[in-house]
Chain A
Amino acid sequence: MTTSSTGAHGEQATADLLRQRIASQFARSLHIRTLDTGSCAACEQEIRLLAAPHYDLHRLGFFFTPAPRHADLLMVTGPMIRAFDVAARKTYDAMPGPKIVVATGACALGGVYQPDAFVHGSVGDILPVDVWLPGCPPSPLALLQGLLVAVDRLAEKVSSRSFTADVKPGEVRR
Chain B
Amino acid sequence: MTLWFLRGLRRGVVTTRYPARPDGSAADLPTPPVFRADALDSELADRLVAMCPSHALRRDADMLVFDVGACTACGRCQEAGGSAAAPSGEFELAATSREHLVKRIPLSREAPR
Contacts and interface: CB of A to CB of B under 8 A. Distances in A.
A164 to B, nearest CB: 5
Given A163-B34, A164-B34, A168-B83, A158 B67 contact: no
Given A169-B82, A169-B83, A172-B87, A111 B35 contact: no
Interface stretch (A31-39, A81-89, A91-99, A138-146): A138-146
Contacts of A114: 55
Interface residues of B, number: 47
A145 B22 CA distance: 13
A66 interface: no
A110 B19 CA distance: 29
A145 B98 contact: no
Contacts of A156: 94-96, 100
Contacts, number: 157
Contacts of A109: 69-70, 98, 101
A149 B83 contact: no
B75 to A, nearest CB: 11
A137 to B, nearest CB: 9
B37 A164 contact: yes
Contacts of A154: 18
Interface of A: 19, 56, 59-60, 106, 109-112, 114, 124, 129-136, 138-139, 141-142, 144-146, 148-150, 154, 156-159, 161-174
